[in-house]
Amino acid sequence: MDVLDPPSRSRSNAGSAAEDFFGDPAQHLSAIAHEIRTPLTTIVALTNLMERNCSPEVSSQQAEYLRMMRLNSQRLSALIDDLLDLHRHDRGELTINRRDIDPVTLLINAADTIQPVIEQRGQLLDLGMELDGVTVHADEARMAQVLINVLSNASKYSPRGANIHVRAGMLRDTLYITIRDEGRGFDHKQRERVFEPYYRVADGPSATEPAVEGSGLGLAVARSLVELHGGVIDIISRPDHGTEVAICLPQAKINPKIKVRAPVTS
């Protein structure tokens, strides 16, 4: 027996007809993202080349324009990567390639990548590590993506001039990394949703700043990648007390051959 009322049946039929006509929307989104990615990669490469080969005649304003072009191109490229990864995850096609990596180098490289964004907001990145000789079995590129997504969120949701605190260490065979911001935080109801794709916390980084713009994909992708490693990512937040993201990765160990770079404060 058909239990749909006529309006519901109409909506159901219309939805089926639209899907038959347009195909899978997620598949279309993935195809569009791929089409955008190719010319964008060229733009990023050419902007980097122009920055490296600036002549003395280039004014400081022109150099700043180039820097803004590079940063925004990289931001768009990261967004496309997140969209594609979310699509791969939904289809069960998201994969990782693990090997023993140095988490100190991983963290410093992620900090270097996000540093221009942090400097733009007059913020300070406080990076402290207790990782003497530690390695972790992980996909370096994917974990860099996780850290950059979380650090980017911490910067966006912190007021100008704030500190962002990163701590890392090893407990038994687990690598732990915490990233704590000085933003407005949020309540437990929002906490339950922050890892949902496309969800964004409503409040701005301070009472005088507007709500944060963004895709709402960063934490969703970060969770997918951490869980593929057999790890855990969690978040602790309270209104007016900032937010802390904790990442735990298994298969960490001491490797005496690893030479440790000293912790830095950017």
Do 130 and 210 lie in one domain? The reply is yes
pLDDT in tens, the chain (266 residues): 334 444 444 444 544 544 444 456 556 666 776 677 777 777 777 887 877 777 777 778 777 777 778 777 777 777 777 777 777 777 787 888 999 999 999 999 999 888 888 988 999 999 999 998 999 999 999 999 999 999 999 999 999 999 999 999 999 999 999 999 998 888 888 887 888 888 877 655 555 555 666 677 889 889 999 999 999 999 999 888 899 999 999 999 987 665 555 444 44
Range of the domain at 74: 9-90
Other C-beta atoms lying within 10 Å of the C-beta of residue 225: 23
Do 125 and 213 lie in one domain? The reply is yes
Q: Give a yes or no: residue 63 inside a domain.
A: yes
Angle subtended by helix axes 140-156 and 103-120, to nearest 10: 30
Count up the domains in the chain and report the number. Answer: 2
Whole-number pLDDT of residue 14: 46
Whole-number pLDDT of residue 98: 94
Beta-carbon contacts of residue 196 (< 8 Å; ≥ 6 apart): 216, 220
**Domain end position, chosen among 90, 118, 133:** 90
Q: Give a yes or no: residue 4 inside a domain.
A: no
Do 140 and 25 lie in one domain? The reply is no
Do 155 and 202 lie in one domain? The reply is yes
What is the H or E stretch that residue 21 is in?
Answer: helix 6-22
Q: What is the CATH number of the domain that holds 17?
A: 1.10.287.130
**Domain end position, chosen among 69, 90, 111:** 90
Q: Give a yes or no: residue 138 inside a domain.
A: yes
Whole-number pLDDT of residue 23: 55
Whole-number pLDDT of residue 216: 79
Residue-level length of the chain: 266
Query: Cα–Cα distance between 26 and 64 in angstroms, integer?
Result: 37
Do 83 and 104 lie in one domain? The reply is no
pTM beyond 0.75: the answer is no
Query: Cα–Cα distance between 184 and 186 in angstroms, integer?
Result: 7
Whole-number pLDDT of residue 53: 77
Other C-beta atoms lying within 10 Å of the C-beta of residue 226: 21
Do 122 and 244 lie in one domain? The reply is yes
User: Beta strands of the chain (E only): which ranges?
Assistant: 99-101, 124-130, 134-138, 163-171, 174-180, 232-237, 243-249, 252-254
Do 187 and 222 lie in one domain? The reply is yes
Q: Secondary structure of 121-164 in the HEC alphabet?
A: CCCEEEEEEECCCEEEEECHHHHHHHHHHHHHHHHHCCCCCCEE
